[in-house]
Amino acid sequence: MYKYRLLELFIICLSTSLFLQCSRPIELPPGDPDNGGLILPTNFEALVVADRTGRARHITVNDNGDIYVKLTYNDAMQGEGGTVGLRDINHDGKADTIVYFGDYKDEGGSAVGVTIHNGYLYTSTVRKVYRNKLTPGKLVPESETEVVLTDEDENVVRNWHTTKPLAFDNKGYMYVPFGSPSDACQDLTKFGPAGIPGGQGLDPCPELENHAGIWRFDANKINLTQKDGVKYATGIRSVVGMQWNPADQSLYAVVNGIDNFHTMFPDLFSSWQAAVLPAELLTKVKEGSNFGWPYAYYDHMQEKNVLQPGYGGDGKRIGRASEFDKPSIGFPGHWAPMDVLFYRGNQFPMRYTNGAFVAFHGSTDRSPYPQAGYIVCFVPFENGEPTGKWEVFADGFTVVDTVVNTSDAKYRPMGLAEGPDGSLYISESNEGKIWRVMFKGDKDKFGEAALEPMEKRKDRSYIKTPDEVADNLHRGDLLGGRILYTSYCATCHQRDGKGDNNLFPPLAGSELVTGDAERLIDIVLNGLQGEININGKTYNGLMPRNDHLDDHAIASILTYVRTRFNNNSVPISAIQVGKVRNKSAQKQ
């Protein structure tokens, strides 16, 4: 049933006395010289526990320090053994034993759940939740696998947002989300999960009956189905991470927002708006909460719920959106929050106690802007409420400075767990790398100065709000611009961009070239006739129309001239050219 790796390292803690010895508190191990590639606040260190466990999702840590990892698609064992156990034998922080086990098969999808509750190891697949009783001293559970919950939805495997992370309160209840099968409640029989441009959502949304919500179950029972639970909250599209916070006796969930604003509604939302909206959420979920999906979404820049475009919204209209609950905090769009962890240990400085760490898997659909997210952030809480400002806690996962395509990111943060000594564990899903983060400084002296380097990292292209023009990656390319300039422009403006000193003005050092981009695009598209003053001299040549060139070609030419000839101005994008072209067409 079980498949092992490094068996020669697994013969430890065979007796109760040895187990107690292995559980004895020890000093924190040294961090890796480079912190395993992570960038952290001052006096934090990190080490790599394991390099390649498989495509890891969530993780959990037992009281004795054993780590359990849930794999996506169970890819490590070809459909079997999709849970990984890791044990550190010599207390250097590194996993000496790595064991793959599990006598179940997954049906596909991004299965995530793994947690420990009341001595049981719970694991989740797309359709089912399992549990095994853990045996003290044993890494791999020896008990028979019990089926806790079965999702009877016949289409669950094709559901985009079917994940079953679990949360347990201290009153004997288990919480399970049931994600929405569509992006924004489109008619799946006609349009598929993503809908079609301009497509409206169904109203009322039939998915809300059995999906897009969180259900509560008796944690002491097994062989459950959704009918055995109670709908606890609704209007929640896709939950991948949840945790019960004992500090305020509340359930918290991180929620992934809807996609495709520009694709679906190009007349209402630009590609920039689609890249940054709608917000990803950290929500405090109370019984009866309704967060508005699919009728509304949260705009973190306006700090309010607004009407979803599939239900008559235009990015500003509120309408019935005012009826729905607001999140605790909104993060930038498409960052893909995967897990949330409220810190309860005492290893970290006091400011982290009862605050929330959130792991962001990173976007896949922000094009033409850089993909974003790929960090672990921290949300400070005061008196049970977030202060409203989130911080970069762990960075360095992408390795590259700009993530043009999601595959450019070396690592993608996924799961979070707290160890018995207060260390923070982070998993990532590309290779299954596991980090352990520790604090080694004076907790009483930890302050704002230690956070300043992390605050500066918010200028990174995968963290900051992109500039609508300068950060558009669909801008003109310089090589193509140089070739096109030589073909179409050099005869008049000369190869060096200095003009002919008679009829045709210079482009080098020209305020017209480096100034208003829209005016410059209009001149290239529609031509120019009559006198023009450049750098104190008047020219009276004829600039022909070039509207036969496509948007990218014109963007490439103008990008070339704005960044060459001693000019230093931002590039031009094809989107900018398209906007000016459309305005010109409307005037004709």
For residues 556-575, give the mean pLDDT: 87
> Comparing 14 with 155, which gets the higher pLDDT?
155
For residues 428-448, give the mean pLDDT: 95
The DSSP bridge partners found for residue 305 are: 298
Give tens-digit pLDDT for 331-349: 999 999 999 999 999 999 9
Give tens-digit pLDDT for 369-401: 999 999 999 999 988 889 878 999 999 999 999
pLDDT, mean over the chain:
88
Give tens-digit pLDDT for 118-157: 999 999 988 889 999 999 999 999 999 999 999 988 776 5
Question: What pLDDT does residue 550 have?
Answer: 82
Question: What pLDDT does residue 584 have?
Answer: 87
pTM for this entry: 0.82
For residues 196-205, give the mean pLDDT: 79
Contact 130, 77 (CB under 8 A): no
Across 317-326, 356-365, 475-484, 558-567, least confident range? 475-484
Residue-by-residue DSSP string for 110-167: ----EEEETTEEEEE-SSEEEEEEPPTT-SS--SPPEEEEE---TTGGG-TT-----E
Q: Rounded to an integer, what distance in angstroms lies between the CA atom of residue 311 and that of residue 192?
A: 18
Three-state SS for 19-63 is: HHHHHCCCCCCCCCCCHHHCECCCCEEEEEEECCCCCEEEEEECC
Q: Where are the domains of the chain?
A: 185-215+257-410+442-467, 478-587
- pLDDT > 60? residue 7: no
Across 23-27, 170-174, 431-435, 439-443, least confident range? 23-27
> Comparing 156 with 466, which gets the higher pLDDT?
466
The DSSP bridge partners found for residue 285 are: 251
Classify domain 478-587 at the CATH topology level.
Cytochrome Bc1 Complex; Chain D, domain 2 (1.10.760)
Q: What percent of the chain has pLDDT over 70?
A: 90
Question: What pLDDT does residue 105 have?
Answer: 67
- pLDDT > 50? residue 86: yes
Beta strands in 165-261 (DSSP E): 167-168, 173-178, 213-218, 224-225, 230-234, 239-245, 250-255
Question: What pLDDT does residue 21 have?
Answer: 37
Q: Rounded to an integer, what distance in angstroms lies between the CA atom of residue 50 and that of residue 88?
A: 10
Contact 149, 128 (CB under 8 A): yes
